[in-house]
């Protein structure tokens, strides 16, 4: 039943998908009061006389705002506005040395909103030398690893992450100490293979190309998705109760070498100039690739997608993540959803990987990720229906953050600006740029 409170907001749309896996509701209504969803369902079932004024959309689907489960944040406002402008209500920062700044940033968004919600993994816990010095905490066997984990948890991290050069002794010590605190650890595998990390109790594996499924004579372009090695690793995930964040969007960027195909995938203004200049500076482009190398890269991505589909079909819990800023804020997650569907994952399952599933992993299931009574009113309206055409996710018509409708055009403008504010304690340069 719709509320009679004149301050409530009532939205009527052609369709609504609530993120729980339930079927799409047509001719739908959603009511918001005091920042919370107070009614949701079919218009005929919900409407009563005396309802507040109603905002009506034709040809539009209402959806839960999205969650990007793999980003690297900075204190430059293009990032935050880009996420909000593309319907993202929560993120998991998977490696950053700026934990205190991110905590402070959470409290001072322009409009006083607490969106996007930030869940952090702190700096990359890596070997010495680290792979990404700008975002890492390098550790040796002589260091008090347990004290480092304790300190990060005191600072408020929501989990931890081991990185490329972390050997098995380091992974084991981090996982064991994190378990003592009731925290999960994620892993970008390298010196410690994924299979070993899972055996040591790893909670989540990041990136499809980190899966150790290749035989000695195989490449990603030649792997068979139904090989015994793939099946065995899937069993390891299931036995360990581990999660997987494949980040296909950045896998595509890697295969393209951030060259012309990458820039053709995203709008010209996906980044402010200082960020696109940084990407072009630190990434070797694909311009020098031979046609054979380009063909090999495309084949590798196709096979990688087939392996990801096998993981999904086997029931490995998976989250959608973009690896922003290596792909653009917001639109990188939209592209991730397109690639997951292109891999053969059903549209509704892919959408749940960016809504209710990561909400559960992050402990936000009572706050965001679904359009259910009592949840925070973080809602997006998109032109079309991504449950039948996943590309509709990129056609934002309106966004509500904690029940307040945002100025979409203003957010888009700010997301394309260089250095919107004078940053505090961080010079505004994107992840990986500082010495």
Asked if residue 209 has pLDDT above 70, the reply is: yes
Q: What is the per-residue pLDDT for 149?
A: 97
pLDDT at 275 over 90: no
Distances (CA, A) of 353 to 5, 40, 68, 117, 381: 35, 22, 9, 17, 18
CATH 2.30.40.10 residue ranges of the chain are 9-63+373-410
Dump the DSSP string for 133-166: GGGEEE--TTS-HHHHHHHHHHTT-S-EEE-TT-
Q: How far is CA 212 from CA 218, 223, 296, in A?
A: 11, 11, 19
Let me know: does 357 contact 315? Beta carbons within 8 Å. Answer: no
Q: Give the strand pairing for 160-162 and 136-138.
A: unpaired
Give 120-153 pLDDT, tens digit per residue.
999 999 999 999 887 899 999 999 999 999 999 9
Stretch 266-290: mean pLDDT: 72
Which residue's entry shows tokens 């079927």? Answer: 23
CB 65 within 8 A of CB 381: no
Q: What average pLDDT does this structure show over 188-192?
A: 96
Query: How much is the pLDDT for 100?
Result: 60
In this predicted structure, the answer to whether residue 111 has a pLDDT above a threshold of 50 is no
- Give yes or no for residue 110 having a pLDDT over 60: no
Instruction: Summarize the confidence of residues 414-421 as an average pLDDT.
Output: 58
Residue 91: predicted pLDDT: 95
Give CA–CA dist 353/68, Å, rounded: 9
Q: 212 φ, ψ to 5°?
A: -90, 75
User: What is the pLDDT at residue 31?
Assistant: 92
Q: Is the pLDDT of residue 426 over 50?
A: no
Question: Is it the case that residue 432 has pLDDT exceeding 50?
Answer: no
Q: 280 by DSSP, 3-state: which?
A: helix
Distance CA 393, CA 340 (A): 13
Look at residue 323 in the predicted model and tell me its pLDDT: 95
Under CATH, domain 9-63+373-410 is a member of which superfamily? Urease, subunit C, domain 1 (2.30.40.10)
- Whether the pLDDT of residue 281 is over 90: the answer is no
Would you state the pLDDT for residue 147?
Answer: 96
Measure the CA–CA gap between 163 and 134, rounded to whole angstroms: 13
pLDDT, mean over the chain: 87
- Tell me the average pLDDT across 277-283: 72
Residue 104 has pLDDT above 80, yes or no: no
Q: Which CATH class is domain 65-246+302-364?
A: alpha beta
Q: Enumerate the β-bridge partners of residue 125.
A: 137, 162
- Cβ-Cβ contacts under 8 Å for 20 (sequence gap 6 or more): 356, 370, 372
pLDDT over 80 at 418, yes or no: no
Dist. CA 130–CA 95, nearest whole Å:
13
Paired strand residues for 93: 71, 120
Query: What pLDDT, in 10s, does the model give residues 319-335?
Result: 999 999 899 999 999 99
Residue 435 has pLDDT above 90, yes or no: no
Instruction: Please spell the DSSP secondary structure of 362-390, one letter per residue.
Output: TT-TTTSSS--TTSB--EEEEES-TTT-G
Say yes or no to pLDDT of 245 above 50: yes
d(CA 29, CA 64): 14
Taking a C-beta distance cutoff of 8 angstroms, is the pair 163, 174 a contact?
no
- In the chain, residues under CATH classification 3.20.20.140 are 65-246+302-364
**What is the pLDDT, as a whole number, of residue 309?**
98
Which among 350, 332, 333 is positioned nearest to 341, based on CA atoms?
350
Residue 277's pLDDT is 77
Measure the CA–CA gap between 258 and 238, rounded to whole angstroms. 34
**pLDDT at position 99 over 60:** no
Q: Return d(Cα 39, Cα 3) in angstroms, integer.
A: 8
DSSP state of 406: P
Which residue would you say has higher pLDDT here, 53 or 154? 154
Structure tokens at 187: 């892993």
Least confident of 245-249, 395-399, 429-433: 429-433
How many helices (DSSP H) and strands (DSSP E) are in the chain? 15, 17
Per the CB < 8 A criterion, the answer to whether 72 and 431 are in contact is yes
Q: What is the pLDDT of residue 76?
A: 65
Contact call for residues 25 and 52 (beta carbons, < 8 A) = no
Of all residues in the chain, the percent with pLDDT exceeding 70 is: 86
pLDDT at 422: 38
Query: Which residues in 115-140 are b (16+ Cβ under 10 Å) and which e?
Result: bbbbbbbbbbbbbeebbbebbbbbbe
For residue 277, the SS3 value is helix
Instruction: Give yes or no for residue 89 having a pLDDT over 60.
Output: yes
Can you tell me the distance from the alpha carbon of 191 to that of 125, in angstroms, rounded to the nearest whole number?
Answer: 13
Average the pLDDT over 37-57 and give the result: 77
Taking the C-alpha atoms of residue 226 and residue 428, their distance in angstroms, rounded to an integer, is: 45
Q: Is the pLDDT of residue 403 over 70?
A: yes
Task: Give the residue-averaged pLDDT of 250-266.
Answer: 84
**Residue 102: pLDDT above 50?**
yes
Q: In this predicted structure, what is the pLDDT of residue 411? A: 84
pLDDT digits (tens, 9 = 90+) for 358-375: 999 999 999 999 999 999
Locate 273 and state its tokens: 């100039």
Strand partners, 63: 380
* More confidently predicted of 136 and 17: 17
The number of CA neighbours under 13 Å toward the Cβ of 223 is 26
Structure letter (DSSP) for residue 42: E
Q: Is the pLDDT of residue 293 over 60?
A: yes
């Amino acid at each position: 039943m719709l509320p009679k409170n004149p301050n409530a907001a009532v939205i009527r749309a052609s369709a609504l998908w609530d993120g729980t896996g339930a079927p799409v509701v047509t001719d739908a209504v959603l009511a918001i009061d005091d920042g919370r969803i107070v009614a949701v369902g079919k218009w005929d079932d919900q409407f009563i006389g005396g309802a507040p004024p109603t905002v009506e959309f034709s040809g539009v689907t209402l959806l839960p705002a999205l969650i990007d489960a793999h980003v690297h944040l900075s204190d430059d406002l293009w990032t935050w506005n880009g996420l909000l402008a593309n319907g993202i209500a929560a993120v998991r920062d998977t490696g950053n040395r700026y934990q205190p700044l991110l905590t402070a940033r959470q409290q001072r968004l322009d409009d006083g909103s607490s969106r996007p919600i930030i869940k952090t993994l702190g700096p990359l816990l890596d070997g010495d030398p680290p792979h990404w010095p700008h975002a890492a905490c390098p550790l040796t066997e002589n260091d008090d690893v347990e004290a480092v984990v304790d300190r990060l948890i005191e600072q408020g991290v929501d989990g931890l992450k081991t990185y490329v050069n972390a050997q098995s002794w380091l992974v084991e010590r981090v996982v064991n100490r994190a378990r003592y605190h009731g925290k999960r650890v994620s892993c970008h595998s390298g010196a410690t293979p994924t299979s070993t990390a899972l055996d040591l109790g790893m909670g989540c594996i990041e990136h499809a190309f980190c899966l150790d499924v290749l035989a000695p004579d195989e490449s990603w372009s030649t792997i068979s998705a139904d090989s015994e090695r793939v099946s065995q690793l899937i069993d390891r995930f299931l036995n360990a109760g581990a999660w997987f964040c494949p980040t296909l969007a950045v896998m595509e960027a890697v295969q393209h070498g951030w060259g012309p195909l990458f820039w053709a995938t995203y709008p010209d203004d996906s980044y402010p100039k200082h960020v696109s200049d940084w990407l072009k500076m630190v990434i070797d482009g694909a311009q020098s690739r031979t046609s054979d190398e380009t063909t090999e890269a495309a084949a590798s991505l196709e096979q990688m997608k087939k392996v990801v589909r096998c993981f999904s079909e086997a029931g490995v819990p998976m989250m959608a993540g973009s690896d922003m800023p290596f792909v653009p804020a917001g639109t990188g997650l939209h592209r991730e959803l397109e690639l997951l569907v292109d891999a053969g994952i059903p549209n509704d399952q892919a959408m749940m990987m960016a809504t209710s599933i990561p909400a559960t992993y992050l402990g936000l299931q009572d706050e965001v990720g679904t359009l259910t009574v009592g949840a925070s009113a973080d809602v997006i309206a998109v032109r079309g229906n991504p449950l039948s055409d996943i590309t509709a996710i990129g056609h934002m018509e309106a966004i509500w953050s904690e029940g307040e409708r945002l100025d979409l055009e203003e957010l888009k403008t700010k997301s394309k600006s260089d250095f919107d504010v004078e940053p505090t304690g961080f010079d505004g340069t994107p992840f990986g740029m500082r010495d």
